[in-house]
Amino acid sequence: MNRTPAVDSQVGPSTSPGWTAERTLPVDLRAGTAARDWLRGIFGSSCRVRDEFLLVVSELLGNCAEHGGDGKVSLSVVHGRNRVWGRLVHHSPPIGKPVLRGDVTAQTELLLAAAGPAVPVEDLAEDGRGLFVVQMLCAEYEHVSGPGSSVTEWAMADCGCFR
């Protein structure tokens, strides 16, 4: 441990030495490509987890585009000593139809309709595989869904940079 004391007063991972990058992207089918092109220019070519990190980003963005409707994502990347952190916040509009108040039968029907044929099993399996791969690649992975947004945080270790 030979960190320089009192340099980083911010919350979160140390960025000294290293870099941070942040960008807001519209959620569409090109978001993954845009994010990969942007990040490829920022990561050093010697970073051993660069390609895996880009894969995780496009997998997560693809997931947002497929299931989150439209909206925006904020993507931030923190590259510290031998480790890279990512944080993806998906600001999505509320999903689904509003439930009518005061009519229990109508509510039940709406709920059943919402829960019904929604997602084919094959699509679920496809999702499962993508997210499984993401979790296998990451040293840390956490996903929290809220009513208006969801947050995914992940980290990759042993990239060999800034040691």
Stretch binding Zn ion (CB under 5 A), from 13-21, 31-39, 56-64, 154-162? 154-162
Question: For Zn ion, which is the closer residue by CB, 65 or 161?
Answer: 161
List, in sequence order, every residue forming a beta bridge with 90; answer none if it has no partner. Answer: 73, 150
CB 21 within 8 A of CB 76: yes
Distance, first Cα to last Cα, the chain = 11
Amino acid at 128: G
State which of positions 46-75 bind Zn ion (CB under 5 A). 47
Rounded to the nearest whole angstrom, what is the least distance from the CB of residue 84 to Zn ion in the complex? 6
User: Could you tell me the maximum CA-CA distance found in the chain, to the nearest angstrom?
Assistant: 66
Rounded to the nearest whole angstrom, what is the least distance from the CB of residue 69 to Zn ion in the complex? 33
Q: Judged by CB under 5 A, does residue 159 bind Zn ion?
A: yes
Q: Which residues bind Zn ion (CB under 5 A)?
A: 47, 159, 161
